[in-house]
């Protein structure tokens, strides 16, 4: 047995360092500042919501991985992403047991049912959210104002409702704090039902008090830029969504500025930025082809604006993304890349170093037309 | 990525940037000692195997033809050693199968000068004479594909060749043999280029070198200037192209130099071009005037598992065990695994036996230790998460993600008809970048093989 063991495997024998785990881990890292800001806005209730929802997702994932019905591993962080994103889309005072239901549904129906990581058709977090939106329509529309005094010591009463019990009335709680119930409406709901348009800087940073908005869009954009720069996320999809939403909103605004809000309000209110950067870019549910990503993003942007303007709901990002998820295989099919050498053959690059044909073909002609030797260096002087 | 490519002036779209790991770029080519025994497989190239023209027990001298064929797509072999033919029969080959080979035992103490070749002057020869002379040397593409050179350089009657493209990219990580040849044998290379230009009728030559080899570019420019001073009139340019894998593919190199896409399924000759590797032409430039056959080549022996990495001039048929012993691959006990790869790490062939000989198409021997492989072993394979990395890296503009899923479902016909599986040249970019660790290229190889068998 002097012969050493030699392993055989197929080429390539080297691999890039990026794995599924690294991608997912960096997405989690980039979500942490956003979660921290969310907790800063809404205090202890938001923290409890994030923890409970993420734990529900992880436990469900664990169950399905353990029972062997699902591919992947618990340590791939994808369930953490689902949990964090789901918690960020729920109102901070959402009852914790409802959050747990959302988390369980997100993983069980949104992901495990299809076979686990990579096989899901719809974004799991949005599946969970769609479920609780249908199940608890009042609770999910009940926002409390941000930056309440004492938010780090006191739970929003609706958070701590017992399972299957009606949560405490948030409006009465707010009244006791001498706050108007309207202060708890999101900017989109205010616009939709009262025709009030929020200020631009409030929307962008969500730092002004008493306005119920999600996490700061500016912060989400910065985190998204980090992901795009490290190539953990494709930059085309957010760009396509925001571009198409802005374009549609601008066209309508130009058509009737009284009836429609300005495009800036469209972009930075509600969950559009969070959806564009984190939800729509979910790899498994978006097309792989570059052209398809543009189409998919444009579809989401268009649908979001249409749902916001013409439906009974104030927010449209979630359904827009879910519809585009369903359309994604079709989009992918019609946007297959053109292989090298199969496109139009007149695509010779203008900036090429050498002309394709030297301008003289045979050797006889070559001696007739002496070619310029401009690519050769000058003879060294001795 | 198109935008980025445009601004950075990248040569072709997509592709990857693996760490280059050119450990041996600064070391001179050294000669490996002659082994006691060499094994010359009859089929070392694309095409038909030649017939042996020696018998067991016959004495041969170095450079003497030992196998020959009249088939067009076949080349003769020459004895790499002076010695006695010991055995003709099956020996382990690099693909894992046993192949017909000639084993020669060296005469100890015999001179190993190549005494067989007759010097000749081809400067007045026609293209046909030169092609015949190239055929007689047994030359094949030394870059790795091992396509018979005389067939590559012969131009069909209805076609015309105006440009000879010389491929000095060497885009594979670790390999440096072409780099060293360009630096040390520039004059041979120029001579080889002139022969190839006369054989094909090309009027200009462009040597494409990746810009991670600036010294090679400088040496070649100097050599061309010297040749012109000595009265050479051929038009030869050297062009540095931005480093990117797989630039060494002829399609990618033509794209980088001329900005033109080669039509799918076509050969460079459709654009009036012939592409050849620097190692091949340098060997031609050396062998043709001497009238000798190809008996040795430069091989990069490298990798983390080699104590004395370097570019070695190895006679063909040297067993790998001998090469690795000399280059100092550490002794391993039976429990310790390692990996030996013929060629580069992206497209090379992992071999299962150290009795496999160095053949004409072997450009590198790469050894990984157990530690180096563990990173890969520990990686879990996930289902495809459709991240699109493979689509962004495929130089041929295919969709490896969808192809991989179709392969898992065994939809081979669909892969070939609608997703252009036949365009894949197995460069390995998709597998290199795949975060899910899916062996995409291997799936494509299997699928192509099945389609080939179906067609036959």
Average pLDDT over chain B reads: 86
Q: Where are the beta strands (DSSP E) in B318-389?
A: 337-342, 349-350, 364-368
User: What CATH homologous superfamily does B16-25+118-290 map to?
Assistant: NADH-ubiquinone oxidoreductase 51kDa subunit (3.40.50.11540)
Q: How many CB atoms lie within 10 A of CB B414?
A: 15
Q: Which residues contact A354 (CB under 8 A, 6 or more apart)?
A: B206, B237, B239, B257, B258
Q: How does pLDDT run across B126-184, given as a tens digit for each residue?
A: 888 888 889 989 899 888 788 999 988 888 877 788 889 999 988 899 999 999 999 99
> Is the pLDDT at A339 greater than 50, yes or no?
yes
Using pLDDT thresholds of 50, 70 and 90, give the confidence band for residue A378: very low
User: Which has the minimum average pLDDT: A54-63, A177-186, A264-273?
Assistant: A177-186
Using pLDDT thresholds of 50, 70 and 90, give the confidence band for residue A131: very high
Residue whose C-alpha is closest to residue B208's, from B300, B275, B140: B275
Helix, strand, coil percentages for chain B (3-state, nearest 5): 35, 20, 45
Distance from CA of B368 to the nearest CA of A (A): 9
Query: Low-confidence residues of chain B, pLDDT below 50?
Result: 1-6, 333-335
Chain A residues within 8 A of B388 when measuring between CB atoms: 234, 283, 287-290, 293
Q: What is the DSSP string of B434-455?
A: -TT---HHHHHHHHHHHHHHHH
Strand-pair partners of B341: B350, B366
| Subunit contact B257:A6, Cβ cutoff 8 A | no
User: Which has the minimum average pLDDT: A231-235, A268-272, B176-180?
Assistant: A268-272
Query: Is-above-0.90 flag for pTM?
Result: no
Is A380 an 8 Å CB contact of chain B? yes
* pLDDT confidence of residue B76: 92
* pLDDT confidence of residue A185: 67
Of A7, A287, A377, the CB nearest to B221: A377
Average pLDDT over chain A reads: 81
DSSP 3-state of B148: strand
CA-nearest residue to B351 within chain A is: A8
Instruction: Give the up-direction half-sphere exposure of residue B275: CA atoms within 13 A in the CB hemisphere.
Output: 23
Mean pLDDT of A341-369: 58
Is B165 an 8 Å CB contact of chain A? no
Is B173 within 8 Å of B22 (Cβ atoms)? Answer: yes
Cα–Cα distance for residue pair A226/A220, rounded to 1 Å: 10
Q: How does pLDDT run across A196-226, given as a tens digit for each residue?
A: 777 776 777 666 655 666 678 888 999 999 9
What is the bridge-based pairing of β-strands B77-78 and B337-342?
Answer: unpaired
What is the crossing angle of helices A317-334 and A290-310, to 10°? 150
DSSP 3-state of B366: strand
> Is the pLDDT at A379 greater than 80, yes or no?
no
Distance from CA of B111 to the nearest CA of A (A): 32
Residue whose C-alpha is closest to residue A219's, from A277, A263, A298: A277
| Subunit contact A5:B337, Cβ cutoff 8 A | yes
In this complex, how many residue pairs, one in chain A and one in chain B, have their CB atoms less than 8 Å apart?
256
Residue whose C-alpha is closest to residue B349's, from B428, B412, B279: B428
Using pLDDT thresholds of 50, 70 and 90, give the confidence band for residue A368: very low
List C-alpha distances in Å: B363 to A12, A188, B29, B175, B377: 16, 65, 13, 7, 26
> Is the pLDDT at A377 greater than 70, yes or no?
no
Domain boundaries, chain B: 16-25+118-290, 389-455
Of A20, A115, A356, the CB nearest to B258: A356
Which chain A residues in 127-186 lie under 8 Å from chain B, judged by CB atoms? none
> Is the pLDDT at A4 greater than 50, yes or no?
yes
Residue whose C-alpha is closest to residue A285's, from A248, A334, A244, A234: A234
């Amino acid at each position: 047995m002097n012969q050493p063991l030699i392993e055989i495997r197929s080429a390539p024998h080297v691999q890039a360092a990026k794995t599924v785990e690294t991608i997912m881990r960096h997405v989690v890292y980039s979500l942490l500042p956003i979660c921290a800001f969310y907790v800063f806005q809404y205090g202890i209730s938001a923290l409890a919501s994030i923890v409970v929802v993420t734990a529900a997702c992880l436990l469900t994932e664990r169950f399905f991985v353990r029972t062997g019905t699902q591919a992947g591993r618990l340590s791939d962080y994808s369930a953490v992403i689902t949990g964090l994103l789901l918690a960020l889309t729920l109102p901070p005072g959402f009852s914790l047991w409802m959050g747990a239901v959302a988390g369980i549904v997100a993983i069980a129906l949104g992901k495990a049912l299809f076979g686990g990581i990579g096989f899901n058709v719809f974004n799991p977090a949005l599946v969970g959210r769609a479920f609780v939106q249908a199940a608890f329509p009042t609770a999910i529309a009940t926002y409390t104002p941000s930056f309440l005094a004492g938010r780090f010591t006191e739970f929003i009463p609706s958070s701590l409702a017992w399972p299957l019990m009606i949560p405490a009335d948030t409006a009465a709680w707010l009244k006791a704090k001498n706050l108007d119930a309207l202060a708890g409406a999101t900017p989109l709901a205010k616009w939709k039902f009262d025709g009030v348009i929020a200020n631009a800087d409030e929307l962008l940073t969500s730092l002004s008090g008493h306005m119920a908005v999600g996490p700061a869009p500016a912060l989400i954009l910065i985190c998204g830029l980090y992901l795009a720069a490290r190539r953990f996320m494709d930059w085309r999809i957010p760009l396509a969504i925001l571009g198409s939403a802005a374009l549609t909103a601008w066209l309508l605004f130009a058509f009737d500025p009284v009836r429609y809000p300005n495009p800036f309000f469209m972009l930075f209110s509600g969950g559009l930025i969070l959806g564009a950067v984190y939800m729509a870019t979910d790899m498994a549910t978006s097309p792989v082809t570059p052209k398809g990503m543009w189409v998919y993003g444009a579809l989401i942007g268009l649908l979001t604006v249409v749902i916001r303007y013409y439906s009974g709901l104030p927010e449209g990002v979630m359904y827009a993304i879910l519809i585009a998820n369903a359309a994604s295989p079709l989009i992918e099919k019609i946007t297959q890349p053109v292989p090298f050498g199969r496109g139009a053959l007149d695509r010779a690059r203008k900036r090429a170093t050498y002309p394709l044909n030297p301008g003289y073909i045979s050797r006889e002609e070559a001696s007739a037309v002496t070619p310029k030797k401009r690519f050769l260096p000058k003879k060294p002087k001795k | 990525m198109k935008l980025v490519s445009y601004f950075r002036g990248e040569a072709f779209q997509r592709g990857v940037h693996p760490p280059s790991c050119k450990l041996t770029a600064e070391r001179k080519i050294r000669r490996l000692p002659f082994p006691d025994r060499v094994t010359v497989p009859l089929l070392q190239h694309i095409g038909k195997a030649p017939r042996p023209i020696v018998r067991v027990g016959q004495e041969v001298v170095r450079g003497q033809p030992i196998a020959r064929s009249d088939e067009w797509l076949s080349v003769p072999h020459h004895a790499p050693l002076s010695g006695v033919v010991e055995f003709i029969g099956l020996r382990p080959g690099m693909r894992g199968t046993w192949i017909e080979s000639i084993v020669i035992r060296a005469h100890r103490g015999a001179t190993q000068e190549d005494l067989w070749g007759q010097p000749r002057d081809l400067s007045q020869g026609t293209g046909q004479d030169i092609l015949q002379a190239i055929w007689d040397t047994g030359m094949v593409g030394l870059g790795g594909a091992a396509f018979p050179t005389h067939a590559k350089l012969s131009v069909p009657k209805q076609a015309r060749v105006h440009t000879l493209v010389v491929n000095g990219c060497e885009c594979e990580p670790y390999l440096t043999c072409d780099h060293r040849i360009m630096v040390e044998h520039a004059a041979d290379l120029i001579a080889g280029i002139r022969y190839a230009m006369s054989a094909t009728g090309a009027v200009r030559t462009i040597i494409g070198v990746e810009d991670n080899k600036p010294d090679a570019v400088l040496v070649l420019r100097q050599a061309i200037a010297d040749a012109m001073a000595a009265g050479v009139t051929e038009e030869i340019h050297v062009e540095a192209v931005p480093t990117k894998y797989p630039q060494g593919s002829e399609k990618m190199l033509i794209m980088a130099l001329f900005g033109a896409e080669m039509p799918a399924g076509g050969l460079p000759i459709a654009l009036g071009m012939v592409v050849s590797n620097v190692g091949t032409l340098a060997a031609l430039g050396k062998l043709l005037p001497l009238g000798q056959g190809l008996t040795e080549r430069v091989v990069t022996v490298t990798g983390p598992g080699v104590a004395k990495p370097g570019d070695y001039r190895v006679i063909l048929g040297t067993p790998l065990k001998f090469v690795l012993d000399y280059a100092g691959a550490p002794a391993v006990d039976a429990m310790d695994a390692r990996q030996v790869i013929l060629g580069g790490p992206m497209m090379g062939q992992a071999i299962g036996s150290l009795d496999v000989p160095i053949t004409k198409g072997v450009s590198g021997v790469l050894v990984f230790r157990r530690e180096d492989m563990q990173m890969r072993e520990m990686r879990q394979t996930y289902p495809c998460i459709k991240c699109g990395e493979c689509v962004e890296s495929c130089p041929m503009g295919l969709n490896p993600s969808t192809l991989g899923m179709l392969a898992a479902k065994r939809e081979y016909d669909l892969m070939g008809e609608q997703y252009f599986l036949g365009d894949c040249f197995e460069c390995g970019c998709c597998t290199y970048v795949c975060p899910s660790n899916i062996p995409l290229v291997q799936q494509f190889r299997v699928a192509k093989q099945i389609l080939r068998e179906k067609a036959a």
